[in-house]
């Protein structure tokens, strides 16, 4: 397998709090997979373990393996993982509010390490998110929540990723915007073959666009399968889709 594979990963915060308890999951190259769960289930912790944001001061990976293709990610810091094509869009649209969209994209560009020119990558981002181009002269802090989420995704795209991890992109957005952003993520996955790991609480919208999903509760994967199969599962319908 050439994608991402976690096997039995355990994260302990503050030396005592076991936040994820032996999580195993796979995302094949070109796949779009979701990790679904409620508040505090361990979704963000799982993404941080993959992207290398967990350090000794915030949490520790005490067990398990994390591989991306042939590479063992555990010894690598977060920047080295970005260089290998893994990018993490954090929860809460962290864009630079005092910079314009263009300047935000420049700040994310990998300069000498990049294969493509900045202009080419920026134009691609604006093709996906034409609203951002319209707002090119505004400071990002004045953009709407949806536009800031688009910019956060755009910043990830200019790092030329192979796999993008998105932490709750739908959070706080109106349903119509969620649909718009999810459709664009799907398009990027399908047209450009970008592998996607999507963390969400919004199971209904997410199961419409992903190939497969994992359900996490209290730090453990409790169910996984094809999106179509999960949608028909009575427990998923009752507890995740609110329609049991
Ligand atoms: P949310 O959607 O609220 O972010 P989540 O599924 O992403 O939920 P995590 O953020 O991964 O959940 O949190 C998992 C557990 O670990 C929770 O009980 C949370 O309180 C705890 N936790 C998260 N970050 C830390 C930290 N830095 N220090 C201590 N405990 C933490």
- What CATH code is carried by the domain that includes residue 224? 3.40.50.300
Ligand 1 centroid, distance to 51 Cα (angstroms): 16
pLDDT at 243: 64
DSSP 142: G
What ipTM was assigned to the predicted interfaces of this complex?
0.95
Is 108 within a domain? yes
Domain count, the chain: 1
Is 71 within a domain? no
CB-based contact 129:152 (threshold 8 Å): no
Question: Which residue's CA is the closest to the ligand 1 atom numbered 18?
Answer: 40
Is 176 within a domain? yes
Probe target for ligand 1 pocket from 18, 34, 35, 42, with the most ligand atoms within 8 Å of CB: 42
Is 120 within a domain? yes
Probe target for ligand 1 pocket from 15, 18, 41, 90, with the most ligand atoms within 8 Å of CB: 41
pLDDT at 213: 98
Q: Which domain holds residue 227?
A: 32-52+81-241
Alpha-helical segments (H) within the chain = 43-51, 78-83, 101-108, 118-128, 130-134, 145-157, 175-192, 203-207, 227-232, 234-239
Mean pLDDT by 10 residues, the chain (244 residues): 90 91 97 96 96 80 93 91 94 89 95 93 95 92 93 96 95 90 94 94 94 97 97 90 70
Start-to-end C-alpha separation, the chain = 36
Residue 40 CB–ligand 1 contact under 6 Å: yes
Is 68 within a domain? no
Is 8 within a domain? no
Is 38 within a domain? yes
Is 13 within a domain? no
């Amino acid at each position: 397998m050439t994608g991402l594979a976690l096997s039995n990963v355990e994260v302990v915060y503050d030396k005592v709090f076991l936040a994820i308890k032996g999580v195993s999951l796979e995302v094949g190259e070109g796949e779009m997979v979701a990790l679904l769960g409620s508040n505090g289930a361990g979704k963000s912790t799982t993404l941080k373990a993959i992207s290398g944001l967990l350090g000794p001061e915030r949490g520790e990976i005490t067990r398990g393996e994390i591989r991306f293709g042939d590479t063992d990610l555990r010894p690598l810091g977060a920047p080295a993982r970005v260089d290998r094509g893994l990018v993490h869009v954090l929860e809460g649209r962290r864009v630079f509010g005092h910079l314009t969209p263009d300047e935000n994209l420049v700040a994310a560009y990998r300069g000498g390490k990049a294969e493509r020119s900045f202009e080419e990558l920026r134009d691609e981002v604006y093709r996906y998110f034409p609203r951002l181009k319209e707002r090119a002269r505004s400071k990002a802090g004045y953009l709407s929540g949806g536009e800031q989420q688009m910019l956060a995704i755009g910043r990830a795209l200019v790092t030329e990723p192979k796999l993008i991890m998105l932490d709750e992109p739908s959070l706080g957005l109106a349903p119509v915007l969620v649909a718009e952003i999810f459709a664009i993520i799907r398009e990027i996955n399908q047209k450009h073959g970008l592998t996607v790991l999507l963390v969400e609480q919004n199971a209904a919208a997410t199961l419409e666009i992903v190939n497969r999903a994992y359900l996490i509760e209290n730090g453990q994967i409790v169910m996984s399968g094809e999106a179509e199969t999960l949608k028909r599962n009575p427990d998923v319908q009752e507890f995740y889709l609110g329609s049991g």
